[in-house]
Amino acid sequence: MAEHAAGPVVRLSGLSHAYPGVGALDEVALELPAGRLTGVIGPDGVGKSTLLGIIAGVRQIQSGRVEVLGHDLRQRRARDAVIERIAYMPQGLGRNLYPSLSVRENLDFFGRLFGQDKATRAERIAELTSATGLAPFTERPAMHLSGGMKQKLGLCCALIHDPELLILDEPTTGVDPLSRRRFWELMERLRRRRPDLSILVSTAYMEEAERFDTLVAMDAGRVLAAGTVSELCATTGERDMESVFVALLPEERRGGHRRLVVPPRTPDGDGPPAIRAEGLTRRFGDFTAVDRVSLSIRKGEIFGFLGSNGSGKTTTMRMLTGLLPVTEGEAWVFDRPVDAEDTALRRRLGFMSQSFSLYGELSVRQNLDLHARLYRLPPKHIPARIAELTERFDLARVIDARAESLPLGVRQRLSLAVAVIHAPELLILDEPTSGVDPIARDRFWEQLLILSREQGVTIFISTHFMNEAERCDRISLMHSGRVLAEGTPADIKARQSAATLEDAFIACMEQGAADAGEETAADRETTQDPMLVRPRRKARRTARFSLRRLWAYTRREGTELRRDPIRLAFALLGPMILMIGMGFGISFDVDEIAYAVLDHDRTPASRDYLERFAGSTWFSEQAPPGDAAEMWRRLESGRLTLAIEIPPGFGRDLQRGARPEVGFIIDGAIPFRGDTIRGYAEGVHRGYLEILGSKVYAGLSASPVTVETRFRYNQDFKSVYAMVPGILMLLLIMIPATMTAVGVVREKELGSITNLYATPTKGAEFLLGKQLPYVGLALLSYLILLLMALFLFRVPLAGSLLGLTLGAVLFVFASTGLGLLMSTFMRTQIAAVFGTAIVSTIPTILFSGMLVPVSALTGPARIMGYGFPSAWFNHVSVGSFTKGLTLADLWLDYLVLAAFGLGFFLLGLALLRTRER
Amino acid sequence: MRLANVYRLGLKELISLRYDPVLVFLIIYAFTFAIIAPSRGVKLQLEHASVAVVDEDRSQLSVRLTETLLPPYFQAPEQIGVDEIDAAMDAGRYTFVIDIPPRLQADAAEGRRPAVQVIVDATAMAMAGAGARYLERVLVEEPLLYLQGDRAESSPAGAPAVASVIRLAFNPNGESAWFMSVMQIVNMVTLLGIVLTGAALIREREHGTIEHLLVMPLNAAEIMLAKVWANGLVILLGATFAMVAIVQGLLGVPTAGSLGLFVLGLGVYLFAITALGILLATLARTMPQFGLLSIPVFLVMYMLSGANTPLDAMPELLQRVMLVSPTTHFVAFVQSVVFRGAGLDLVWTHLAATLGLGALAFAAALARFRQTVSLSRL
């Protein structure tokens, strides 16, 4: 707005920020004028992202003053008001996008978050997509977009609400040179259209410096210098930004840094190539990641692979190491065909993959030692080798530090040290210097040059830094799985008559694109330049709670869920299978008890007695044991559960009234079963006595009192009637809770949680919006399980359908809420899933009344039973099915279940951060 | 295959585990609280049952009947009114209600044989049957003893023609804590065996360290075996601790069989279950998928293993199907060894089956191992 255009758009003073154990920002003071394109430049880990996050209002302010667009961000209401006028695109290509959603759906979601109505959203989506050339791809899922397109979509999503301040965190990292160039062109057009728009961009590419009006150079949480490029060049007396940056660093950080000189390679004759590949192809489904790549890398050469993320560099390298099977083509390393099982070959090879892939929890020494042993270095040589490497790679000071605590540059040196511990002849390095600061990168390259020039190691390295590519003996330009050009850097430039390698690369790419009939630079010129941003309208007041935003989350979560067959199968098919297995399997119906008789008497009398057991359906007679020892062995092994021993002289004693004693030995290992069998045995025994008709049972037949037993709710006394309602309860908590358990952590891990921080979304909208689709899915599952109970297991519903269903709705609100609650404070998805499983398994299976009545529980078990929703819904479920209970009987359960749902929700809300720390 | 590699990689595994607070907590919880609480609190047979008495007679006999409801079988009986029966039963407050009619004592004395009603909540499956049988017996015997004075007991004339001497072998008092505690160990071993190994593999895949291992002169079997022994050892120690300190010590459960044989079987079972964990991890692409996959697998293996309800109560077909789960065999093994004191000669078949199933899972995981290394990255 006009009143802000004159003053600074951002004003920081004394801003400090620390993460556990590490400082990120140290007393930063800065003023950024409005209407400018400002660049924050510096390597990874110097605090750029933290700074941008704080300005965008997505990070909490720890100490210092932050004023953005004239508002003090420390005040919650000011922050809520100003956040609608800021657009923020986080680091990492498309990290805040939703991969399974199409371009249109992603944009639509952001439009809804900013409260736009349907017409406005449609209009803005049309404008933005046609301005960025995404119009033909609006229905394509974000995960199938190229890096450049993802970047454009990210930008469109940021621009959908016409911001006044645009904050882009490393928008060009990992993007191919052509897309990068187009991105800057887009920025130019954007600025022509909206000169009052302030843009703040961070970058790790020093060569992008001259594009900015103002530069802020950062290192180690401090601002080294701020000003225009020419001002900075003038102060330092350097010409290119990388040198300017190095010159700006304090003396001790430079640590005797000198310009890297690449000594020429002395060719060692025409031996066989170290790596040879012909027509290497790799397809993943329909997608061709690597398309007919042929290579030949000579021994002792530094061969560079240049290309953007997703261009196929990594896939090619992984095929060459044997990690990934090839779809077509052939490859040889040292003249031996690449074979995953060839361990001898692997000992001649060192590999360092893209991300830091050592064990973070091991110390530097443990990492080196482990690898030395795994590469089978003779144990007595290992200490010397570790000493040598720590010396050479300057790791002595950190030798006992845990690897994950090291700065990125040091970690990369450790990775290299590990990769060369067995003195390999060939090194394959996949983007080893990504995100590393210029000084550390140069030191890394010094080591590479020593390895190559002094030790004759062949090095195959991939990078997206042009200046690193210049240092290679030969390079190969890769794009979309294909090699565009190959040769020495000088050759490639000459062939395209380009001044820089980047220009040459872009020329190659445009050629390739033209061949493929894709959009070219020429086409772009003719593209209309529609409204990318529109003039600001009057700012709306943010509603405290917006159903539209809640619905935006529900729709989005629902769409994502619908497109994920694995989660859907888990949610719907899983319970069906479990219901069948457990419904038939969990049974307390004890029958066909395996028993055997040791009859020492063998008279008609004993046979008459035993007849009673043989005739009972409860018992199933097994072959008689030869002696007592055998009987015991069979009891011990579990093949018998009851042994009956008839004493010698049974018939005679019976005759004489000498009260023979029949012995029953019951396997009591499973106490409940033992109890039941005892009851059965006593029953049969009593029956015999009654038949015997004598004075028997002390005249019990003439007992003065009779007992009438009424089995209520389950006259046939069949397990299935009691178990199926219980299993319904079990499945309606375990499955939905597991589903939502990953809900929030997943967004944290993937990065889309930023959309909660950076938009006016309230925590309640976010949580409830995410919960609803899962409630819906769980209710669908409830319906399926209910039908199974009624028609497959034939358990009649004696009570009211409405009563059961109301309980189910409240219960799944509680169970999905429980999962979300776990998700808000767990840090990783695995912890959330298993945490939820652990928390819910015991109270649900053992303390809910499913196996044992809650009223019979004692101590903590009883408290846990009533302190968890399962027991309450189990009462609703069992009560509705078997006891014929209806709404009026179940009001207490409803109340408690609703309280659980609300409690989980409120607790989740309290634990959910709406800003990053 | 080199054992030195397996050993080294396993040590690394142990260090990694030590730095994962969630998993460490999970292990501690699993072998302490998760065993104690169910053992102390859950009674699967007639024990601590809730009972109410509707005494409409209020005579000496009715008081005496009420007094037959003794611990440990019953909680102290509560007196309720006849009009409260339905509501109390519906709410699940009592599993048994005994309704003593008015004039019970008088009618009994006059030989009119009045009926005492026992109302059983038949949805409390395990307890209802045993309780009903118990009540039928004592409620019939007690009036007899009362009316005849205690003469009956000493008079041989009143004794039955054939006496039954019933003996519950292996658990004479039918204490459910014995069963519960040992079965909870099996359950926790199962859960942890799957989770720890599976999660360890997926974590390595997500961090890219597995690729690192595979470009070294190592093979998949070595990497897998390292995970098996390291995670298996942790669980073995935890479970043995739980057996000795918690089950035998704190809960005072006497175990009939040899601890050595139990530990041996545990080792074999851990091989099988950790191999299964790895297999599941090779089937899942990401950690959440692994979670979604392993929870139902665990639930089925746990609920239908015979550790909750007896295996022979299941339909024949399902019993056969469950034989493919190593848990079923291990539960049978544990019940025989720990409770019945069976020796190796009686249980080796269970061990062999567990080992065979473990080997199958291991082979299947090995076959899938390499091709799935790259899954999480793409």
**Which pLDDT score is estimated for A529?**
53
Q: What is the pLDDT of residues B242-255, one digit of tens each?
A: 999 999 999 888 88
Q: Which residue has the higher pLDDT, A894 or B216?
A: A894
Closest in A663, A696, A853 to B160, CB measured:
A696
Cα–Cα distance, A853 to A670 (Å, whole number): 18
Binning pLDDT at 50, 70 and 90, where does residue A81 land?
confident
Chain A contact probe: residue of B8, B212, B290 with most A CBs at under 10 A = B212
CATH of domain A593-696: 3.40.1710.10
Best-predicted range by mean pLDDT (A163-172, A402-411, A506-515): A163-172
**Which pLDDT score is estimated for A678?**
86
Closest in A678, A692, A853 to B168, CB measured:
A678
What's the whole-number mean pLDDT along residues A381-409?
Answer: 86
Q: Report chain B residues whose CB lies below 8 A from the CB of A713.
A: 121-123
Q: How many interface pairs between A and B have CB atoms less than 8 angstroms apart?
A: 468
Per the CB < 8 A criterion, the answer to whether A590 and A135 are in contact is: no
Whether pLDDT at A308 is above 80 = no
B14 lies within 8 A of chain A by CB: no
B237 lies within 8 A of chain A by CB: no
Binning pLDDT at 50, 70 and 90, where does residue B156 land?
very low
Q: Helix, strand or coil for residue A453?
A: helix
Residues 318-347 (B) with a CB less than 8 A from some CB of A: 318, 322, 332, 335-336, 339-343, 346-347
What's the whole-number mean pLDDT along residues A765-781?
Answer: 95
Closest alpha carbon within chain B to A321: B215
Q: Report chain A residues whose CB lies below 8 A from the CB of B38.
A: 842, 846-847, 861
Whether pLDDT at B374 is above 70 = no
Contact A679 B125 (CB under 8 A): no
**Which pLDDT score is estimated for A541?**
54
CB neighbours (10 Å) of residue B206? 18
What is the per-residue DSSP string for B303-334? HTSSSSS-GGGS-HHHHHHGGGSHHHHHHHHH
Binning pLDDT at 50, 70 and 90, where does residue A540 land?
low
**Which pLDDT score is estimated for B132?**
85
Cα–Cα distance, A636 to A96 (Å, whole number): 62
Domains in chain A: boundaries: 8-85+163-254, 275-516, 547-583+718-911, 593-696
**Which pLDDT score is estimated for A531?**
54
Q: How far is A783 from chain B (nearest CA, A)?
A: 19
What are the distances in angstroms from CA A537 to CA A1, A21, A534, B323?
9, 44, 8, 70
Q: Report chain B residues whose CB lies below 8 A from the CB of A358.
A: 209, 212
**Which pLDDT score is estimated for A112?**
92
Q: What is the pLDDT of residues B76-106, one digit of tens each?
A: 899 998 888 888 888 888 989 999 999 888 8
Say if A8-85+163-254 and A593-696 have the same CATH topology: no
Closest alpha carbon within chain B to A680: B133
Binning pLDDT at 50, 70 and 90, where does residue B334 land?
very high
| Exposure letters A43-52 (e unless 16+ CB within 10 A, then b) | bbbbbbbbbb
Closest alpha carbon within chain A to B121: A712
B42 lies within 8 A of chain A by CB: yes
Domains in chain B: boundaries: 3-42+175-376, 51-149
Q: How far is B358 from chain A (nearest CA, A)?
A: 22
**Which pLDDT score is estimated for A481?**
85
Per the CB < 8 A criterion, the answer to whether A250 and A217 are in contact is: no
CATH of domain A275-516: 3.40.50.300
> What is the Cα A508 distance to its own chain's centre?
37
Cα–Cα distance, A179 to A141 (Å, whole number): 19
Chain A contact probe: residue of B123, B165, B211, B227 with most A CBs at under 10 A = B123
Cα–Cα distance, A57 to A69 (Å, whole number): 12
Whether pLDDT at A694 is above 70 = no
Q: Report chain B residues whose CB lies below 8 A from the CB of A840.
A: none
**Which pLDDT score is estimated for B188?**
92
Q: Report chain A residues whose CB lies below 8 A from the CB of B123.
A: 713-714, 721-722, 725, 878, 882-883
Closest in B92, B211, B336 to A854, CB measured:
B92
What's the whole-number mean pLDDT along residues A61-80?
Answer: 88
Q: What percent of chain A has pLDDT over 90?
A: 26
**E-state strands within A362-515:** 426-430, 458-463, 474-479, 482-487
Binning pLDDT at 50, 70 and 90, where does residue A566 land?
confident
Contact A344 B147 (CB under 8 A): no
The CATH class of the B51-149 domain is: alpha beta
**Which pLDDT score is estimated for A701?**
47
Strands A474-479 and A302-306: parallel
Chain A contact probe: residue of B20, B28, B99, B295 with most A CBs at under 10 A = B295
| Cα dihedral value B104, B109, B113, B117, nearest 10 | 20
Please, what's the largest Cα pairwise distance for chain A?
Answer: 125
Q: Report chain B residues whose CB lies below 8 A from the CB of A364.
A: none
Range A8-85+163-254 classified under CATH 3.40.50.300: yes
Of the candidates A172, A570, A453, A670, the residue with the CA atom closest to the CA atom of residue B289: A570
Q: How far is B310 from chain A (nearest CA, A)?
A: 7
Q: Report chain A residues whose CB lies below 8 A from the CB of B292.
A: 566-567, 570, 574, 738-739, 833
Q: How far is A828 from chain B (nearest CA, A)?
A: 9
**Which pLDDT score is estimated for A1?**
38
Q: What is the pLDDT of residues B196-239, one digit of tens each?
A: 899 889 888 877 788 888 888 888 899 999 999 999 999 999 99
CB neighbours (10 Å) of residue B111? 9
